[in-house]
Amino acid sequence: MRRPWKHPTTARHGAADLCLREVGLLLPRRFARRAAASEDLVMRLQVHRKLNRHTGCVNTVGFNADGDTLISGSDDQMVMLWDWDTGAIKLQFHSGHSNNVFQARFMPYTNDQTIVTCAADGEVRLAKIGDGGDVPTTLLGDHDGRAHKLAIEPGSPYIFYSCGEDGLVQHFDLRTNTATKLFQCRNSLSKSGHSSNIHLNAITIDPRNPNLLAVGGSNCYARVYDIRKYKWDGSSDYPSDCYCPPHLIGNRFVGITGLAFSHQSELLISYNNENIYLFPKNGGLGSDPKSSVKIEANKGSKSTIVSSGEDVDRPAPLMYAGHRNCETVKGVTFIGPNHEYVASGSDCGRLFIWRKKDGKFLRAMEGDECVVNCIEPHPHTMTIASSGIDNDVKIWTPTATERAPVVNIEELKPRKRRTKLWHFSLPEELIFHVLASRRRRQAAGDDDSSEDLEDSTGLLNLVLRAAERDVLSDEDEESSEDSGDCSLN
């Protein structure tokens, strides 16, 4: 019997692939994967359904392994399980957290009955769905500060990791319901001899090598750890490799909000106030990046790093630009059966999609009235779930009858603010003025002097200046090139 022909990986038209499959010259499984990765599907994505039952921002979404159930968690501290295709809620329960739920995930091979969560209260909790629909939750461990992300060991129904703003990485084993403090992620020693914790925002595991764990946060370096080489004594961290774009090495004004490993062990890093970068496998700077004393600019596709008197050529990371990542902690992800595309949310309320292999911008889809934070791909099809500041989850499917027009990223128009993002912090001058004014009033008793009136006027002016700087009107003021708009360069 003639063996099916495996055609080369060069791009073909979909109709040609269909003909090859029909005559037995293209393996059905290969045809299905190539069809699911078609750029035509990306260009036909549109909102299939809005899942609107939460009463707060939706901070986490994710599909189960079969792809028929979506899990979501919100500021309302509720966790909901959806039939995303019909929009029906299968189950909802209180997470047990006392603050915003930041992540909720199914554990593999548990028939979707075991769920782990982390939240702004710093807790990591376990939820077990009972036969009668009851969902008791158990505290597994906690962080001194907000716990942003979890990383589940691929294929394991028991093992997962957490990270938090205290810089701590913890290992959990559900067979014993115990938490092990692995290490405290710290900045390098300062001149004073003290080190500070790195506020961790992201953690991920290499699917091809579950022993490799990457973390990132309020530091320019993404650190990769080999768990096999680590001493489980809770001591200071010693990464096996560090990743950072050459021009950001040593930059104290950037941090990492999202990480993702591809099926090829490439590491994707999203920076705040910067762009997204894709590093090839083993494309890091080594365990001690500060030993690199000189870094020259990109020369073609290489970066020259001079370390200990030796020149080391490393492939320059691929960059994905155009979105805006300043206001919130945004994730980053791959989409497509072989991770053919890169996707991220943006402060302008859009979902951005790029072609992975060359960084070409493909789509910017309107996904939120304010900010898109989460994008999660379906495990088998070109379907996406997204969420952000809005109280709903949007499901995107490639069902548009017409392809989306090609848009130059420089031609994206700023969007008008429809909601307000309040992240108002009191300036030191204002705090000092409030305390001084209070002391003067206490010393003067209840007399309403002209000096008190002058103090109140000055205080009001300070408040108005701070509010004018941080908040945009939702009635008649349009966004310009500010922190809420997409980057146009």
381-414 pLDDT, tens digit per residue, is 999 999 999 999 999 999 999 999 988 887 776 6
Confidence of residue 18 (pLDDT cuts 50, 70, 90): low
Average pLDDT, the chain: 81
Higher pLDDT, 43 or 23: 43
CATH annotation of 41-411: 2.130.10.10
Q: Which residue has the higher pLDDT, 429 or 378?
A: 378
For residue 314, the SS3 value is strand
Q: Is pLDDT at 362 greater than 70 in this prediction? A: yes
CA angle 260, 266, 267 (to 5 degrees): 40
Return all residues near 136 (Cβ < 8 A) that are at least 6 apart. 127, 128, 130
Is pLDDT larger for residue 292 or for residue 93?
93
Confidence of residue 288 (pLDDT cuts 50, 70, 90): confident
Higher pLDDT, residue 69 or 232: 69
Q: Which of 133-137, 458-462, 479-483 has the lowest mean pLDDT?
A: 479-483
Q: Residue 81 forms beta bridges with which residues?
A: 71, 91
25-39, 73-87, 136-150, 430-444: the lowest-pLDDT one: 430-444
Q: What is the pTM of this model?
A: 0.79
Please report, rounded to a whole number, the percentage of residues in the chain having pLDDT higher than 70: 70
**Is 280 a residue whose pLDDT tops 80?**
yes
Q: What pLDDT, on the 0 to 100 scale, is given for residue 105?
A: 98
Answer yes or no: are the C-beta atoms of 361 and 409 closer than 8 Å: yes
**CA atoms of 34 and 337, how far apart (whole Å):** 8
When pLDDT is cut at 50, 70 and 90, the band that residue 347 belongs to is very high
pLDDT at 415: 63
Q: What is the mean pLDDT of residues 87-95?
A: 96
pLDDT score recorded for residue 211: 93
pLDDT at residue 307 tops 50:
no
The helix/strand/coil state of 386 is strand
pLDDT, average across residues 116-140 = 95
Whether 383 and 396 have beta carbons less than 8 Å apart is answered as yes
* pLDDT tops 80 at residue 438: no
pLDDT tier for residue 250 given thresholds of 50, 70 and 90: confident
Sheet holding 178-184, edge to edge: 147-152, 159-164, 168-173, 178-184
Taking 60 as the threshold, does the pLDDT of residue 13 lie above it?
A: no
Mean pLDDT of 149-166: 96
Return the pLDDT at 470.
Answer: 47
pLDDT band at 179 (very low <50, low <70, confident <90, very high): very high
Flag whether pLDDT at 357 surpasses 80.
yes
* Residue 80 clears pLDDT 70, i.e. is over it: yes
Domain edges within the chain: 41-411, 428-470
473 pLDDT above the threshold of 50: no
pLDDT of residue 31 exceeding 90, the answer is no
- Out of 28-37, 56-65, 190-199, 462-471, which region has the weakest mean confidence (pLDDT)? 462-471
| Of residues 44 and 439, more confidently modeled | 44
pLDDT at 3 over 90: no
Count the residues in the chain. Answer: 489
Stretch 66-72: mean pLDDT:
97
3-state SS, residue 64? coil
Q: Give residue for tokens 């993702």.
A: 260
Range of weakest confidence among 118-127, 181-190, 225-234, 286-295: 286-295
**For position 315, what pLDDT does the model report?**
78
Does residue 433 have a pLDDT over 80? no
Task: Give backbone dihedrals phi and psi of 109, rounded to 5 degrees, phi first.
Answer: 55, 40
370 compared with 192, residue with greater pLDDT: 370
**pLDDT value at position 477?**
43
Residue 229: predicted pLDDT: 80
* Helix axes of 450-470 and 428-444: crossing angle, nearest 10 degrees: 160
Question: If you average pLDDT over residues 26-45, what whole number do you get?
Answer: 78
What is the structure's pLDDT at 412?
A: 78
Cα(339)–Cα(321) distance, integer angstroms: 18
What is the predicted pLDDT for the residue at 366? 94
Which segment of 45-59, 110-124, 441-455 scores lowest on mean pLDDT?
441-455
The lowest-confidence range among 14-28, 122-136, 164-178 is: 14-28
> 110 pLDDT exceeds 80?
yes
Residues 243-250: what's their mean pLDDT? 93
Q: Is 55 exposed, middle or buried (0-12, 13-18, 19+ CB in 10 A)?
A: exposed
